[in-house]
Structure 1
Amino acid sequence: MTVTVGGLTYLEQIREAVSYIQSRLGGSSPKLGLILGSGLGDLAERVADPVTIPYSEVPHFPVSTVEGHAGQFVAGTLEGKSVIVMQGRFHYYEGYAMRKVVFPVYVLKELGVECLVITNAAGGMNRVFQAGDLMLIADHINMTGDNPLIGPNHSELGVRFPDMSEAYSKLYRELAHRLAGELEAGDGRKLQEGVYCGISGPAYMTPSELTMLARLGGDAVGMSTVGEVIAARHCGLSVLGISCITDMAVGEELEPLTHEQVVAVANRTKPKFIELVKAFVREVEVS
């Protein structure tokens, strides 16, 4: 069974998007890809010799509709390495099918990306955390009720049953911890590590729901990332995941929250986030 949209298969749509982006990159082949979450898009402004490609110009791309997501690729060099940055992402709660949400991940893979840095804004459920912390994602719990691999599998993209025993690279996490220790940036707080719970959204969770997730082993909760990481591992990309803890989501102590508050805290955390990612890009080994 082959699913077609507008007469094209999913794989054909990916290849058309890749072809267009390649035509704009002038022959460069980025090995590092970055997906920047809410309030964290300013890192793209550090890219040298940038080529900016709005998502609206790329064939078959959805449109990013959320505040804090610029909705464009920025390609160029960062810390001396060829990179392509997604300044904004797509979310399941925007009404897109999960396969559409992760479409850019496969495009990045076909462009030549080997290492993918995925970032997000998240609520902290671990009582040790504080708003403004950065958390390396060690693992995730998929609470979205969906999976981007449901449906026909294109063997050209990946195997039918991909392994998820190390969804987030242990080697990358070790490198990030070492670099964070050397930087001692911002307020000097320790780089956290934990389990990310991905939910569908768009409503924030109730106190009882947050208490349940914490008891299941979750340390942070957000509305993105999980589908992208499943797709990344499906097509063989290695992943570093970083959450910016923008608020404390402890069920028994929950306070009202707005998206504007989330973006505001992400903005304050940007300096240490940018320095950590820049250091990682500088040190990580790619072919």
Structure 2
Amino acid sequence: MPEGIIIKALSGFYYVKNGENVIQCRARGIFRKKKVSPLVGDSVVFEAENPIDGYILSINERKNVLNRPPIANVDQALLIFSVAEPDFDDGLLDRFLVHMESHQISSLICLTKIDLLGVEAREKLSKRIAPYQAAGYPVLLTSSLHRDGLEDVSGLIRGRISVITGQSGVGKSSLLNALNEQLSIDTQAISQALGRGKHTTRHVELLPVCGGFVADTPGFSSLDFAEVEANDLEDCFPEFRTLRDSCRFRGCTHIAEPDCAVKTARDHGQISEARYQHYCMFFHEISQRKKVY
């Protein structure tokens, strides 16, 4: 039986890429009985007598799964945030980073609209992104309008499946169009009244970009931690992981305990105060979450 990868899911149909061909498939009823849904990114076994009348027979083992956005087998996340219009939101960025770290998916931080910043604003931005670079996250500065930084982005997504997501209205679609002009994805300007962008992407789809696949996804204005436990949150902050064994108490939450190596590093400027405050906020949010039985 032939195999392929689902590149788009829309209105109950799954579009499976097999070599140069794309076959429109439906899922067999057995998936509903097992309460399993095929996802974009799935490697599947299918049968088809013609290009518009196929059926997915089975789903191969997944290496990871994201629920928001719904996609499987992601190699990396390309987190898109603008430096202006809308303003850079490091709190939301940290939420996305925690989400990806909890699924053991590496992240690339891509900042768009860099052409909107003057010299002084760029210096301030450099200070804000330094903690992310120190934590090991690649940070890419781009301008789709002037095509700045596009070669750096293309080099990092080549040969990989990357999920592209982030705050709404930051230029995700514009960036993809700049990387592959044949895509012609619809874009909309940011709403001046609301101060945020409109959702221009309605479904998840794998798009061919620079020798790899990029999953264009709907943007989000918020993100919860339904799949993260409070005790596991420190694992989602790389700069905390290297210090936790130096804390006085095993299982230190890095909030109220004395002789905490993480808090000491924060006090000495080795850990970002903003990142630490976001950690505390997220820890409290998860701790207050109602348990679902």
Q: Would the TM-score normalized by the shorter structure come out above 0.5?
A: no
Under TM normalisation by the shorter chain, which class is it? under 0.3
Higher normalized contact order (CA 8 Å, seq sep 6+, divided by chain length): 1
The structure that has the greater radius of gyration is 2
Higher share in helix:
1
